[in-house]
C-alpha cells in the first residue's frame, strides 16, 4: 500500500480529524479482559461458596452456574448488544456497560443469598456481552488492514495471559475469604474513566448517515461460514481450559502448583499462537484454518493418549498454540467482511457464537465421556473432530485467497 494511504488506515474518523493510537488500544484491550475476569476469577473460591451456602437447596447446581452463567449470557446477548452499538453509539454503550459491570460484579460483597448472587452474575454476563462487542467493534473501527489483524491478535494474547493472572489473583484473594475476589470487579469503573476522555465513536460515512434510521442489513451469506466455524472453534478453544486439570488429576497429579503450571504453560502457548497469527495473517483463512485445526488435533490426541505429565503438558501446549492462532483468525475473517454500519451486529453475532460454544463445551465433553467411557477418550474424539475440520476447511476454502492483513473492502 502506498505511503500516503497509511494515515487513512489508522484513522477511526473518516474526516481524518482523530487518529487512534496506543492509549485507545490499551483501553480497548483492558476492557476486553473483563470477560476473562468474569469467567476465571471465581473458580478458586467455588468450594468456599459451596460451603457457605451448604443449606441452600440446589447448591450443587447453583454454585457452578454462578461461574458459567456469564458466558451463557455473553452468547445470548452479544448479538443484541451489537444492534444497539450500530443503532446508537459504540462509546456510550461501552461506558455504560463498564460502570454497570462494576455494580453487578461487586454486588456479592453484600448479597446474602445464593440466588441473589447468581442473579448478579447474570447482570455481569449481560454487561460483558456489551463490553466485548463494543471493544472489538471499536478496534475494527479504529484500524484496518495489517494493524487490525495485529491488534486483534494482541487482544487474544493479552486476554490469554490475563486468564492466568486473574486465576492466580482469585486464589490469592480467596485465601482471605470467598467474597474478597469480587472487589476486583471495581476495576471496570476505574478503566471507564479514561475511556470517557480517550475514546470516541467514529463519524458515520455520509452514505451510512443517510440511512441511519434503517440499519443496513447484516451480510448473512458472507458471515455464515466464519460464524459457523467460530461456534465449533469455541468448543475446541475451551476444551482443555475446562478439562486439563481433570485430566491431570485422573493421572494422579493432585499438586495445585503442578496443575497451575500446566495451565499457565498452555496460556502462554495460546498467547504465542496469537502472536504468530499477527505475523502470518497474509496467508488468509485458506492456509491458516487447516493448519490451526491440525495443530489442535495433534495436541488433543497427544493429551488423550498420554499417561505421563510431560507429554500431557506438551499436548496442551500444542493445542494452546493452535487455538491461539485460531481465535484471531476467525475474528479477523469475520471483521473484514463487515461494513462500518454492520460491524457492531456482526461482531456481536461472532462473539455470541464463540461464547455459546464455550458454554456448551463442558456439556458436550460430559456427553461424549458417557458414551466412550472416559475423559481422555472423549478428548480423543474431539481431536479426531479437529482433524476433520482441518480437512473440511482445506476443501471448502480451496481456490480462494482472502488475506487477513489487507484493508477490508468495506472498512
Mean per-residue pLDDT for 49-65? Answer: 86
Contact call for residues 125 and 69 (beta carbons, < 8 A): yes
Q: Which residues contact 291 (CB under 8 A, 6 or more apart)?
A: 322, 325, 390
Give the Cα separation of 255 and 261 in Å (integer).
10
402 within a domain of the structure (yes/no): no
Q: What backbone torsions phi and psi does residue 201 show, to the nearest 5 degrees? A: -90, 130
- What's the CA dihedral at 260, 266, 268, 273 to 10 degrees? -170
Q: How confident is the model at residue 4 (pLDDT cuts 50, 70, 90)?
A: very low
Average confidence (pLDDT) over 368-374: 92
- The more confident residue out of 167 and 341 is 341
pLDDT higher than threshold 70 for residue 210 = no
- Residue 89, class by beta-carbon neighbours within 10 Å (0-12 exposed, 13-18 middle, 19+ buried)? middle
The answer to whether 157 and 67 are in contact (CB under 8 A) is no
Q: Looking at 200-255, which runs of residues are DSSP E strands?
A: none
Per-residue confidence at 165, pLDDT binned at 50, 70, 90? confident
Neighbour count for residue 246 (Cβ, 10 Å): 16
Task: Give me the residues paired with residue 11 across strands.
Answer: 19
Query: 109-159, pLDDT tens digit by residue?
Result: 999 999 999 999 999 999 999 999 999 999 989 998 888 888 988 988 888
Residue 194 cell numbers, joined = 479514561
Neighbour-count burial for 104-116, b at 16+ CB within 10 Å, e otherwise: bbbbbeebeebee
Per the structure, the count of domains in the chain is 1
375 close to 369: Cβ distance less than 8 angstroms: yes
Helices 309-335/285-305 angle, 10° precision: 160
Residue 69: closest CA among 11, 98, 108: 108
Closest listed residue to residue 318, CA positions, set 381, 246, 270 = 270
Per the CB < 8 A criterion, the answer to whether 63 and 49 are in contact is yes
Is 403 among the domain residues? no
Task: With respect to residue 94, please indicate whether it lies within any of the assigned structural domains.
Answer: yes
Is residue 75 a contact partner of residue 87, using CB atoms and an 8 Å limit? no
Query: Cell numbers 469475520 label which residue?
Result: 334
Burial class (CB in 10 A: 0-12, 13-18, 19+), 282: middle
Rounded Cα gap, residues 193 and 297, in angstroms: 43
CATH number of domain containing 222? 1.20.1250.20
Helices 309-335 and 145-174 pack at an angle, to 10 degrees, of: 130
Domain hosting 146: range is 3-396
Asked if residue 408 is part of any domain, the answer here is no
Q: Can you give the pTM of this predicted structure? A: 0.81
> What is the per-residue pLDDT for 89?
86
Judge whether residue 99 has pLDDT over 70: yes
* Upper half-sphere CA count for residue 241 (Cβ side, 13 Å): 26
Whether pLDDT at 15 is above 50: no
The CA distance from 19 to 349, in Å, is 27
Q: For the chain, how big is the Rg over CA atoms in Å?
A: 21
- 93 versus 335: which is more confidently predicted? 93
Nearest-angstrom CA–CA distance, 231 and 326? 12
Q: What would the DSSP string read from start to end of 26-51?
A: HHHHHHHHHHHHHHHTTGGGHHHHHH
Highest-scoring range by mean pLDDT, 149-153, 170-174, 320-324: 320-324
Greater confidence, 391 or 355?
A: 391
Question: 261-316 pLDDT, tens per residue?
Answer: 888 888 889 989 988 998 888 888 999 999 999 999 999 999 999 999 999 999 99
Is residue 409 in a domain? no
Can you tell me the distance from the alpha carbon of 38 to that of 163, in angstroms, rounded to the nearest whole number?
Answer: 10
| Confidence class for position 214, pLDDT limits 50, 70, 90 | low
* CB hemisphere CA count around 315 (13 angstroms): 26
Q: Residue written as cell 496442551?
A: 316
Instruction: Kindly report, residue by residue over 337-369, the tens digit of the pLDDT.
Output: 888 888 889 889 998 999 898 888 888 988 999
Q: 185: which residues sit within 8 A by CB, 6+ positions away?
A: 37, 38, 41, 101, 102, 104, 105, 106, 124
Of 294, 297, 281, the C-alpha closest to 333 is 281
Q: Is residue 75 part of a domain?
A: yes
What distance in Å separates the CA atoms of residue 45 and residue 171, rounded to the nearest whole number?
7
Amino acid at each position: 500500500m502506498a505511503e500516503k494511504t497509511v494515515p487513512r488506515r489508522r484513522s477511526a474518523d473518516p474526516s481524518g480529524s482523530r487518529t487512534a493510537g496506543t492509549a485507545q488500544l490499551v483501553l480497548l484491550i483492558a476492557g476486553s479482559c473483563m470477560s476473562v475476569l468474569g469467567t476465571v476469577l471465581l473458580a478458586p473460591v467455588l468450594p468456599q461458596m459451596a460451603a457457605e451456602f451448604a443449606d441452600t437447596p440446589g447448591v450443587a447446581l447453583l454454585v457452578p452456574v454462578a461461574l458459567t452463567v456469564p458466558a451463557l449470557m455473553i452468547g445470548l446477548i452479544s448479538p443484541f448488544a451489537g444492534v444497539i452499538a450500530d443503532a446508537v453509539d459504540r462509546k456510550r454503550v461501552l461506558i455504560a456497560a463498564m460502570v454497570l459491570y462494576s455494580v453487578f460484579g461487586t454486588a456479592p460483597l453484600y448479597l446474602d443469598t445464593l440466588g441473589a448472587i447468581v442473579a448478579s452474575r447474570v447482570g455481569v454476563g449481560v454487561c460483558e456481552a456489551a463490553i466485548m462487542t463494543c471493544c472489538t467493534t471499536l478496534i475494527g473501527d479504529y484500524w484496518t488492514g495489517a494493524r487490525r489483524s495485529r491488534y486483534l491478535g494482541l487482544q487474544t494474547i493479552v486476554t490469554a495471559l490475563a486468564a492466568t493472572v486473574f486465576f492466580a489473583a482469585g486464589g490469592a484473594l480467596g485465601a482471605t475469604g470467598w467474597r474478597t475476589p469480587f472487589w476486583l470487579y471495581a476495576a471496570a469503573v476505574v478503566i471507564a474513566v479514561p475511556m470517557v476522555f480517550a475514546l470516541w465513536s467514529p463519524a458515520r460515512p455520509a452514505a451510512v448517515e443517510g440511512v441511519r434510521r434503517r440499519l443496513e442489513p447484516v451480510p448473512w451469506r458472507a458471515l455464515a461460514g466464519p460464524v459457523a466455524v467460530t461456534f465449533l472453534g469455541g468448543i475446541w478453544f475451551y476444551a482443555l481450559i475446562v478439562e486439563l486439570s481433570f485430566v491431570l488429576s485422573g493421572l494422579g497429579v493432585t499438586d495445585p502448583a503442578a496443575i497451575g503450571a500446566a495451565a499457565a504453560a498452555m496460556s502462554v502457548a495460546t498467547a504465542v499462537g496469537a502472536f504468530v497469527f499477527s505475523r502470518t495473517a497474509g496467508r488468509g483463512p485458506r492456509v491458516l484454518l487447516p493448519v490451526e485445526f491440525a495443530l489442535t488435533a495433534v495436541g488433543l490426541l497427544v493429551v488423550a493418549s498420554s499417561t505421563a505429565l510431560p507429554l500431557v503438558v506438551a499436548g496442551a501446549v500444542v493445542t494452546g498454540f493452535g487455538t491461539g492462532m485460531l481465535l484471531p483468525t476467525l475474528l479477523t475473517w469475520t471483521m473484514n467482511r463487515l461494513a462500518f454500519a454492520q460491524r457492531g451486529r456482526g461482531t456481536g453475532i461472532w462473539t455470541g457464537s464463540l461464547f455459546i460454544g464455550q458454554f456448551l463445551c463442558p456439556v458436550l465433553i460430559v456427553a461424549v465421556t458417557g458414551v466412550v467411557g472416559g475423559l481422555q477418550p472423549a478428548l480423543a474424539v474431539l481431536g479426531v473432530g479437529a482433524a476433520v475440520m482441518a480437512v473440511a476447511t482445506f476443501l471448502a476454502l480451496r481456490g480462494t485467497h482472502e488475506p487477513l492483513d489487507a484493508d477490508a473492502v468495506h472498512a
